[in-house]
Structure 1
Amino acid sequence: MTKSIFINLPVADLPKSKAFYEALGFTNNPQFTDDTAACMVWSESIFVMLLTHAKWQTFTSRPLPQSGSSEVMLALTCNSKDAVDHMNDAAVKCGGTADINPKQDLGFMYGRALADLDGHIWEAIWMDPAAIGS
């Protein structure tokens, strides 16, 4: 079995969050989607489970993250600098926030961080394949 990651995120408005992630380039897997959760696919091994607050609370008794807090920053690789910029542009168009941290351009690596509708932090990054050690 291929190793995969399922990232679970609590969201306040499931339909809006689903549309937000689709605008960023994720696709929905309807097999694992209902009125309490949506499975959003980034790649063959990366999945984001968007969970209503009620659904989230069936998995843990810990409190929901507070707006403005951060526990984790999730980074996704993109195929180009333009794709990184596109992801941030799409986030803004759908109600998210682009560039919550300063843009990072190190020449061989380019990254921009964004926040989704619930304040979950994502960083879109591009790395020059020629700069990666062989």
Structure 2
Amino acid sequence: MSATLFVNLPVKDLKRSEAFFTALGLPFFAATEDMAAVMVSEQAQIMLLTEPAFAEYSRTEIADPTKTTQVILVLGMQNKAEVDEIAEKAAAAGAAPVGEASDDGFRYRRGFTDLDGHHWTALCLATPA
């Protein structure tokens, strides 16, 4: 079975979030007044929803990602250069770094929070020898 993953994220300012993800080099599939679809791959999309639109789908209160962590969104990159590139683009677009770059010989990763405080990690895995 093959499925497409849609991750829904509440955002305070949709236009600001669209500009942020555009600065990362991620294309958009579609947008309306209250949501926009960021294409991560053919099988994964990030759905940015204004907080009122997100609340229509949620059974519980929307968490404040600047105070709690429910999920860490990981972007699998091909190599260290791509990890560095997207982390640097994120910083230039206003993201805050999360920790230092980490390289344990098997994984290289850099974390950041987007403009709404959602935690992201760019990661590449070493190819086994």
Q: Which has the higher strand share?
A: 2
Structure 2 gap ranges (5+) = none
Which residue does 2:86 correspond to in 1? 87
TM-score, normalization by structure 1: 0.88
Unaligned runs of 5+ residues in structure 1 are: none
Shift of 1:96: 1.1
Large movers: runs of 4+ above 6 Å: none
Q: Aligned residues, how many?
A: 128
C-alpha RMSD over aligned residues: 1.4
The residue that corresponds to 1:113 in the other structure is 111
Alpha-carbon distance, 1:25 to partner: 2.7
Q: Using the alignment, how far apart are the partners of 2:100 and 2:63 within structure 1?
A: 23
Contact 1:10–1:53 (CA under 8 A) maintained in structure 2: yes
Which residue in 2 is equivalent to 1:12?
12
Task: Find out whether 1:53 has 2:48 as its counterpart.
Answer: no
TM score, norm. by length of structure 2:
0.92
The percent identity for this pair of structures is: 33
Contact 1:25 1:42 in 2 (8 A): no
* In structure 1, distance between residues paired with 2:83 and 2:67: 23
Q: Counterparts in 2 of 1:28-67, with a 5 A limit?
A: 28-30=28-30, 33-66=31-64, 67=66
